[in-house]
Amino acid sequence: MEHQEILERSCQVLLVYTTLPSDYETEFLSHWQLSRRKDMIIGVPKEIKDKEFRVGIVPAGVQTLAAAGHGILIECGAGLGSGISDQEYEAAGARLVHDAASLYSGAELIVKVKEPLVEEYAYMREGLILFTYLHLAPLPELTGVLLDKKVTAIAYETVSRDNEFLPLLAPMSEVAGRMSIQAGAHYLEKEAGGRGILLGGVTGVEPGHVVILGSGTVGTNAAQMAVGLGASVTVIGRNPARLAALEKTFAGKIRTRLSSRENIAAEVSRADLIIGAVVVPGGVTPTLTTRDMLPLMKKGAVLVDVSIDQGGCIETARPTTHSDPVYEVAGILHYCVANMPGAVPRTSTFALTNATLTFVLDIASKGLHGALQGDLALQRGVNTYNGFLINRKVAQAQGRDCENIDRFIR
């Protein structure tokens, strides 16, 4: 048997090892150890979405992954928007890469913040693991690219515990909920195009009225900020138990109403600021505020649709950017920025990576199959797998066939 053939037949290592001459021994052992490596190369690119200053990992996370034996590639400048220098990443154990193409081609696992944009489609390839926010339901083109390129894409927003808690969506939902009130308060100012309302009012003048559509993490944090400013607040939701819990939490400082077309129409007619805070993990959000409700509203009122990255819960909503955040329909100002937390990147990056690091470490250390086999929450995060669509809600939204992840990891 030729020595090269022996090298290629590692499955027979115990049978042939003793027959190898010494000058092949080092090469063989190196080949054998490589085949048994459990480390992974993790790439963190610079985000290219408009005004997206977050980054997929912080230096402390790099240290943790490097200590576990993994390699970390960071695109130059990826952390600058979050106040993290290239030198900090290098000191933590990362290797800097000067362009996105090299980073994607050199990494097995890509950890980022936002979904790939058209400019990044060329970097998708078979065998790549993509771990990021995806919100695929309203994005059939991106879904098609991930399927065609056989990328395994795990969405932060669909990783969920048995109690339906969304551990990787929650931190950004907190940020977006709080920011929605800040943004709404700003655009209610006359110079910004609003009614000229101070949400908290002053002595002898009633406060502004805030209506929040949704009683989850986004809605709760929006209510917290609005109550803190002194606004009048109504939360509309479909879960009576959740609404009762919010009333108790806020000790009578908010009103609640069950979600129905009649109740929503009645409340938006009184509102100065409406917050769309509905979340359907992996799916398209339902439309709660329709176009025919706009004439009922006060001219100069503001709509902030936090749900816009899943299609939006306001019929007249369409995605906007931090560079061009608002537009007007029927005298109502619409703020529909799809990556709101990107405006406060330092807070958002550290909050996000606090939540994602454990999952990244599991995938890198156990391998994709090992991590998935031991974690139902992570299994729920898989949206596409090697050319197959896994997430049922995305499949329903796009009229595609769907497979169960169990088929591939048993």
Q: To which H or E segment does residue 373 belong?
A: helix 345-373
CB-based contact 275:306 (threshold 8 Å): yes
Question: Which residue among 209, 272, 309, 334 is the active-site one?
Answer: 309
Active site residue 135: yes
Name every residue whose Cβ is closer than 8 Å to that of residue 255 and which is 6 or more positions away in sequence.
233, 234, 235
Q: How far is CA 305 from CA 12, 59, 247, in A?
A: 61, 33, 23
What sections of 75-139 are H helices per DSSP? 86-92, 100-106
Alpha carbons 376 and 372: distance in angstroms, whole number: 7
Question: Which residue among 70, 135, 209, 334 is the active-site one?
Answer: 135
Q: To which H or E segment does residue 333 belong?
A: strand 332-335
Active site residue 309: yes
Bridge partners, residue 111, by sequence:
131
Alpha carbons 255 and 246: distance in angstroms, whole number: 9
Q: What would you report as the CA-atom Rg of the chain, rounded to the nearest whole angstrom?
A: 25
Residue numbers annotated as active site: 135, 309
